[in-house]
């Protein structure tokens, strides 16, 4: 078999593993093998051929793995985003090609992981889709490894995944000669073992005598409207002049039925012992001139039932801008509004065509069940935004969400990393997706696919003792160290080349 054919085999294997490395078909171990094979391909070819091959492999595999996003993007935009993302994924491999080959020994294995972390971190800061494509999320379910994010954020897990492929290739190029590779392999293995053992110990020695509160999350009245097609009831209200009186009245009647359904279910759960009742993102749709009456009903309900009621509310402003407000409102057992939070991070097109963002300040309130905070759905894809929660000593974070079935699991997994990062319990009622509740260590307390149950109610006993973590205070220090390391490696490689020449 020729070297070119061999390299194409490595490219094909890397692309196939990448299909299962993130997205609809995630298999956690697959993510570790992607850089292993693609680095092997890159190092055996010219920069131009490697770039074209890598981009093609990433474009095809990304398009397949992320098909769920067809729902929120026009096809041309979807493929443009996939093409740009694929190009970004190529950059760390080119950094490895030009820098690692000019550095000595085992230290060269660090180039690729710091380059990937740098790319992923800067991309997450600059693009409107946040941390969606982070390699770290592929490791959902590996709780000992996931504990690392309480210190380094998701960058730490990404680094380890990429370093594995780089170390393996370094040993491969040395023909796995024990005397040459044993120290380097032992270094990587030792660090990985320390991470896993310390994460396991964090879980094993977590306090068990913690107080908990009964929190109930109420889903969507699917018999009234399809959560995948909210426009069927919102458009006749948003653009009232374009629809008939009968169409507008039909939508307004649907809004009244949705409101009634949520209060009926909330009443049942309050009688069953719920202390905090939560609704998903925009669970209640209210026209602006009816909002005060709606809020009075919510205040009366919370006071009479002696519960905290956190509602996801979409307030409509027909024929005005913005067309709607997307917010959460927490009502106390005293019948007072404790806070109102407006969604700060808006999904391109889906949100930005209708809503303006809030100021980004995450409100908190002290309750009988610890300090409660709330954000909305897409806010959770931006770790820097959520760090406010960890710094404010929040005990319970409630995240009203609106998803769709294809991304329900992925998006709920991503959100649970934020709970570990900030040491908080999280409750996430998700219209059209997966409801979940986890403790500050990411351990599942309750989980519900609302399309797999008729009642569409999730009940969880949620601990309200928070866990202090480093990440909210040091932020993305590890990612910045990786960026610094990449720049230092590039300068060192340039100096070494100059000396050799």
At 501, the pLDDT band (50, 70, 90 cuts) reads low
Going by C-beta distance under 8 Å and a sequence separation of 6 or more, which residues neighbour residue 110?
Answer: 163, 166, 485, 489
C-alpha radius of gyration, the chain, whole number: 25
CB 230 within 8 A of CB 257: no
- Looking from the CA of 218 toward its CB, the CA atoms found within 13 Å total 26
At 69, the pLDDT band (50, 70, 90 cuts) reads low
* Overall average pLDDT of the 182-190 stretch: 97
User: Residue 466: what pLDDT?
Assistant: 82
DSSP secondary structure letters along 102-152: GS-GGGGGGHHHHHHHHHHHHHHHHSTTTTTT-GGGGGTT-HHHHTTHHHH
Task: Quote the percentage of the chain above a pLDDT of 70.
Answer: 98
At 488, the pLDDT band (50, 70, 90 cuts) reads very high
* Overall average pLDDT of the 383-396 stretch: 97
Residues 241 and 501: their CA atoms lie apart, in Å, by 74
Report whether the peptide linkage leading into residue 322 is cis, meaning its omega lies within 30 degrees of zero.
yes
User: Residue 68: what pLDDT?
Assistant: 63
User: Residue 65: what pLDDT?
Assistant: 87
Sequence spans of domains, the chain:
3-205+478-500, 212-466
> What length is written for the chain?
501
At 75, the pLDDT band (50, 70, 90 cuts) reads confident
Backbone angles phi, psi at 373, to 5 degrees: -130, 165
pLDDT single digits (tens) 145-172? 999 999 999 999 999 999 999 999 999 9
- Give domain 212-466's CATH number out of 3.30.479.10, 3.90.230.10, 3.40.190.10, 3.60.110.10: 3.60.110.10
* Overall average pLDDT of the 281-292 stretch: 94
The overall longest dimension of the chain from CA atoms, in Å, is 82
* Overall average pLDDT of the 107-129 stretch: 96
User: Residue 71: what pLDDT?
Assistant: 57
User: Residue 1: what pLDDT?
Assistant: 65
| pTM of this structure | 0.94
At 407, the pLDDT band (50, 70, 90 cuts) reads confident
pLDDT single digits (tens) 310-335? 999 999 998 888 889 999 999 999 99
* Overall average pLDDT of the 417-445 stretch: 97
Mean pLDDT across the chain, nearest whole number?
A: 93
């Amino acid at each position: 078999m020729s070297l070119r054919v061999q390299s194409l085999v490595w490219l094909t294997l890397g692309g196939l593993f990448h299909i299962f490395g993130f997205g609809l078909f995630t298999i956690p171990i697959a993510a570790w093998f992607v850089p292993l094979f693609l680095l092997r391909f890159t190092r055996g070819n010219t920069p131009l051929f490697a770039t074209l091959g890598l981009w093609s492999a990433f474009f095809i595999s990304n398009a397949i793995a992320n098909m769920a996003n067809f729902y929120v993007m026009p096809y041309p935009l979807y493929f443009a985003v996939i093409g740009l993302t694929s190009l970004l994924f190529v950059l760390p491999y080119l950094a490895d090609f030009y820098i690692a080959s000019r550095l000595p020994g085992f230290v060269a294995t660090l180039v690729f992981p710091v380059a990937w972390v740098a790319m992923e971190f800067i991309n997450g800061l600059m693009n409107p889709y946040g941390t969606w494509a982070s390699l770290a999320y592929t490791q959902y379910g590996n709780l000992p490894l996931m504990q690392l994010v309480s210190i380094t954020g998701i960058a730490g897990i990404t680094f380890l995944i990429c370093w594995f492929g780089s170390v393996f290739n370094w040993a491969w190029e040395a023909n796995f000669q024990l005397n040459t590779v044993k120290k380097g392999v032992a270094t990587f293995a030792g660090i990985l073992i320390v991470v896993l053992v310390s994460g396991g110990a964090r879980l094993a020695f977590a306090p068990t005598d913690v107080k908990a509160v009964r929190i109930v999350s109420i889903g969507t009245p699917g018999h009234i409207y399809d959560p995948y097609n909210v426009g069927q009831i919102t458009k006749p209200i948003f653009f009232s002049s374009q629809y008939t009186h009968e169409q507008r009245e039909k939508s307004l009647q649907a809004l009244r039925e949705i409101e009634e359904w949520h209060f009926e279910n909330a009443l049942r759960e309050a009688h069953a012992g719920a202390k905090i009742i939560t609704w998903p993102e925009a669970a209640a749709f209210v026209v602006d001139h009816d909002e005060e009456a709606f809020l009075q009903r919510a205040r009366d309900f919370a006071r009479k039932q002696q519960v905290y009621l956190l509602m996801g509310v979409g307030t409509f402003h027909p024929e005005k801008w913005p067309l709607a407000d997307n917010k959460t409102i927490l009502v106390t057992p005293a019948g007072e509004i404790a806070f109102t939070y407006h969604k700060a991070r808006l999904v391109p097109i889906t949100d930005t065509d209708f809503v303006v963002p809030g100021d980004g300040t995450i409100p908190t309130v002290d309750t009988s069940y610890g300090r409660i905070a709330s954000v909305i759905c897409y806010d959770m894809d931006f770790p820097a935004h959520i760090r406010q929660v960890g710094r404010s000593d929040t005990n319970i974070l409630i995240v009203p969400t609106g998803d769709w079935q294809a991304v329900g699991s992925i998006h709920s997994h991503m959100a649970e990393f934020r709970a570990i990062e900030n040491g908080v319990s999280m409750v996430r009622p998700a219209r059209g997706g997966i409801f979940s509740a986890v403790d500050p260590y990411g351990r599942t307390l309750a989980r519900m696919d609302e399309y797999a149950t008729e009642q569409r109610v999730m009940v969880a006993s949620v601990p309200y003792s928070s866990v202090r973590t480093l990440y909210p205070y040091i932020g993305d220090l590890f990612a910045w160290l990786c960026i610094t390391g990449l720049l230092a490696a590039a300068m060192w490689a340039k100096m070494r080349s100059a000396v050799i020449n």
